[in-house]
Amino acid sequence: MQNSFGEPQTVLLLGGTSDIGLAIVHRLVTPTLQQVVLACRNPDDASAAVAELGVGGVTASAIAFDATDSAGHAAFIEDVVEQVGDLDVVVLAFGVLGEQAEFDDDPAKAAAAVTVNYTGSVSVGLAVAKQLRAQGHGHLVVLSSVAGERVRSANFVYGSSKAGLDGFAQGLGDSLVGSGASVLVVRPGFVHSSMTEGMKPAPFASTPEAVAEITVKALRSGRRTVWAPGILRYVFMIFRHLPGPIFRRLPLG
């Protein structure tokens, strides 16, 4: 149960090696925090983060999580609850970016990326929602992306998967109204992280720490959608309504 300042006692990060996800978890560290679970494909990859987070009164652990194993997601969440009790904050941060050119060559690869980004998020998101509903409180933070707000030709497989995820997360949040649980949809722009290493930064580029700060602030104030940085909300308000011929000519990388 979170305290009156919105400080959680338990945090589950789905995508336990995500730079943004870990930055959010670090922001949630207070004397109130007791349990952190980092869920990722290979728990060993999160060992450094586990060591970093598991200090003071915090017990941190890493557990194996396969985003593509939708059939196992309900049992996975049950196991985590068995281990740590009520889930105060769950951060859904896993996802693959991929290269559009590669996807063009290998449609199966594109479908696999979409399975992780969208299908996996749907099944685990619903499993989390079921738990939050049953406990009558808790927040699910979903890392969407501006890429889903108006999908660009440069990364339309990734963008479309995020568009689906964004719609799913908003609908899930609406369905949870009155249940005590809530969903926060976070829409970062370009973020300097291991996911975007070597890429040319887009305008209004941000850092995992900056996204985390905005996210935790939004969590505390009970917002349902947040952009990082905030100005992107207005930028994409315009982008959404640009006629195709103009949008296609924009130098968006």
Residue numbers annotated as active site: 158
**Is there binding between residue 83 and another protein (CB under 8 A)?**
no
Q: Write out the two tokens for 250.
A: 């924009």
Q: Which residue's CB is nearer to another protein, number 109 or number 133?
A: 133
**Is there binding between residue 7 and another protein (CB under 8 A)?**
yes
Neighbours of 93 (CB within 10 A): 25
In three state form, how does the secondary structure of 1-45 look?
A: CCCCCCCCCEEEEECCCCHHHHHHHHHCCCCCCCEEEEEECCHHH
**Is there binding between residue 137 and another protein (CB under 8 A)?**
yes
Q: Write out the two tokens for 201.
A: 């930064």
- Residues that bind another protein (rule: CB under 8 A) add up to a total of 26
Q: Which residue's CB is nearer to another protein, number 69 or number 213?
A: 213
Q: Among 3-11, 120-128, 158-166, 202-210, which window interacts with another protein (CB under 8 A)?
A: 3-11
Q: Among 2-10, 70-78, 183-191, 193-201, which window interacts with another protein (CB under 8 A)?
A: 2-10
107, 180, 201, 203: residue in contact with another protein (rule CB under 8 A): 180
- Residue 91's contacts (CB-CB under 8 Å, 6 or more residues apart) are 11, 12, 13, 14, 15, 21, 24, 25, 141, 143
Q: Give 126's DSSP letter.
A: H
**Is there binding between residue 32 and another protein (CB under 8 A)?**
yes
Cα separation, 15 vs 149, in Å, equals: 22
Q: How far is the CB of 25 from another protein (least distance, A)?
A: 17
Binding site for another protein (CB under 8 A): 1-7, 9, 30-32, 34, 57, 85-86, 133-137, 178-181, 221-222
